[in-house]
Chain A
Amino acid sequence: MITVDPGTYVQLLALVQNSIIAAAVLGIVGGLIGVFVMQRDMAFAVHGISELSFAGAAAALLLGLNVVGGSIVGSLIAAALIGVLGAKARDRNSIIGVLMPFGLGLGILFLALYPGRSGNKFGLLTGQIISVDLPQLGLLIGISIVVLVSLLVVWRPLAFDSLDAEVASARGVPSRALSILFMTLLGLTVAVSVQIIGALLVMALLVTPAAAALRVSSSPVMVPVLSMVFGLVSAVGGILLAIGGSLPISPYITTISFAIYVVCRVLGARKGAVR
């Protein structure tokens, strides 16, 4: 839905250059951590964390503090609660189910009290391109890089713990420490994602790409690579389409990401039928 001429589009592109970089980094990190989200069966936790992240961001907006900082605080509180109280999958789901509406409710309360522009309010829930200023953008990219590097360092033990916990523990993999670290990294990634795509739609970057990749491959190399590519294409593609139109960014990202998933599902089903 391009409503501007090519010249204006290039000018807009320059304006949102930093956002594109942030989205690219986020697409890659979201795709990577998504692989572990799927392995550890934590898709619902992503949603739960994002609602508290939204509450944190809304509180920061109301109090005139750093929105990204507020978002991170909310994320980490949720990640810690889910990590500590929800060691077992069943406990975890009920705790998330309890936390999620509470977080969303708090966030809506803070936004209702916030006297500022309403565009900012909506953006936290459904995403926005140019809502974050330059220093915040730097912060987002910095956090993404920290998550990326941490994941690469713990990759194998974390995968071992996620996929084969009993043997991993017998072999001396520090499951508890890894679990805490993973929840922290997940919290940070969610906080970053909320800034770009909004709290309600975080799963489109943290779950959908990995879920799509798993449909077409079981290889521990191909799944993360595909997931990263899918995340990157969705995030950057979404922004490139959004700046030419008048619609918010999220529908573009979620639609691309969903389309990739559908294609992978069809391909995966074909492959399964042949096998």
Chain B
Amino acid sequence: MLIIKSIEDLKRVKEKYEPLIKQRLGHRNGLGLTQIMVCSGTACHSSESQEVRLQLEQELARRGLEEQTRVIKTGCFGFCQYGPIVMVHPGGIFYCQVRPGDVRELVEKHLIGGQVLERLLYHNDSTGKRTPTIEDIHFFQAQRRIVLRNCGVINPEEIGEYIARDGYFALADVILHRKREEVIEMIKKSGLRGRGGAGFPTGRKWELTAAQDIQPKYVVCNADEGDPGAFMDRSILEGDPHSVLEAMTIAGYCIGANQGFIYVRAEYPIAVERLEIAIEQARAAGLLGKGLFGTDFDFDLSLRFGAGAFVCGEETALLHSIMGQRGEPRPRPPYPAQEGLWGKPTLINNVETFANVTVILREGWEWYQGQGTSTSKGSKVFSLAGKINNTGLIEVPMGTTLRTIIFDIGGGIPGGRQFKAVQTGGPSGGCIPAKYLDLPIDYESLKEAGSMMGSGGMIVMDEGDCMVDIARFYLQFSQDESCGRCTPCRVGTKRLLDILTRITEGQGEMEDLEMLEELSYDIRDASLCGLGQTAPNPVLSTLRYFKSEYVAHVRDKRCPAGVCKALLHYTVDEDKCIACGLCAKACAVQAITGAPKQPYWIDPEKCTRCAACVAKCPRQAIQKGTGKDVAVLGGEAGIYAGAGGAENRATL
């Protein structure tokens, strides 16, 4: 690739690649080329999308079609539930769940026969119809993709395609025509706030770092996406890595830094690979390195890898980790903007924040400011997971309601079950109950509801999820990840976990509930860093909205959702039992006894609630009791199959 020195050079690259991109955006531009986009995000990757891609290439070569057809890797479409996704242009035909075994038929029917392969189209369950294009799928139509605009459109491993989407034009404009203060002012006016969780105004952070009169300075991208159930940053890095590189370079220019670091989780191998390719290509094109666009501004990037410590998402801990030390946080101030890497001023922003920067500069701060709510501008990417029909990645304007996200875009809860809560913000956030479904979400409203924006993970829970157990789960996470530096977090989370475990095992007492609350406030107020300060949030929010469930565990010794093993009891329905004895054979602890032609019986003292008997019973005669009500379990029983008791629904 030629070294890019001016806007004209960028335009030349853009011209070369634009026809390809235009066709993918729906222009029938007579390209005489068929482009097959294969999703290569982590989720599709795991369901063999790369095998599909290889087989497509082989099949095309075998049939001599490789001249007029191109198979292209692309980033996450966001429709992970239906992966692997394959999209064919022109026509934008959207195929779901394409297996390697489907490739031959796809090539024969679509590419040779010129017909759509009906069988692999998206099936709309509510209308019962199959729909051919992305425009017909409500999941996509209900979204507004600003940050994710390139995911699924470009090949993330080809810098030319990013340039064809106006990439690096903002950087050129900034370096060649703008003053630093002017750019920082634009970011400030746009109202962009940090997407990592806390929501600190980004422009203000840039200004603070730029104002420091010390050299060298550093730019850091926090790609240590540790919240379980959150994968927005990963998808951006996998689908559009150059947008982050470009924004970091712009940030470097504005604050006066010449070196940047991207701190990325080692658990994201595909994102790491794409970043490495992107950095290499940007260097080869002269968009990273010495003398960018013929000026005297130098900027280069280097990757640093996390090694599995959640606390490293906290900025001061992250800095220690980049320097190769134990990732322990330190008190602030001094803030990283004043004293960061190796004691020098350092700007730290999250992946999604950086991805927004290029959008603002391209579309203008006035436009950006018009998006979202009064306090939170722009859009937000969320990852939907848990008990929801359309798991995947979505982007909506700030201020969209939870109901729209979960029931409209997300397609509601599978299996006709009841919505119970949505967990946002990971281990630092809380569970939001049904009564807040119409809450327009932004940084403030979520905080008010006892949760937080966090990085944007949303886990939907239904009536089969026990909120006490969920609180215990998060505390176990926080306790495990507590770095041990400060006592409130180290000892406090341990004590919280002890109490919660006791409650889920039926050993809780009513005083424990007060103790939980008191201890939670103490940990929140006294901990050194964000991890400890927010660790009690899952406990506080579940106590606030689902107190009756805690009370049921403590006072009645029962788990309404039927999750906490120690509080369950299994019984045999005498009318259904055919005395086949399979259950007794399956029981590892000999808790089941019986005789021919007599109903079998489960000894509650011996029973370990492993549910092995439930799986074996041919007549579904074994019932799981949660106390007052008894639920009959179906074929795919396990402890997680859960029972939605009337009591439980009443808590809504």
User: Do the two shown chains form a genuine complex with each other?
Assistant: no
Please give the residue numbers on chain A whose beta carbons come within 8 Å of chain B beta carbons, in ascending order: none
B interface list, Cβ under 8 A from A: none
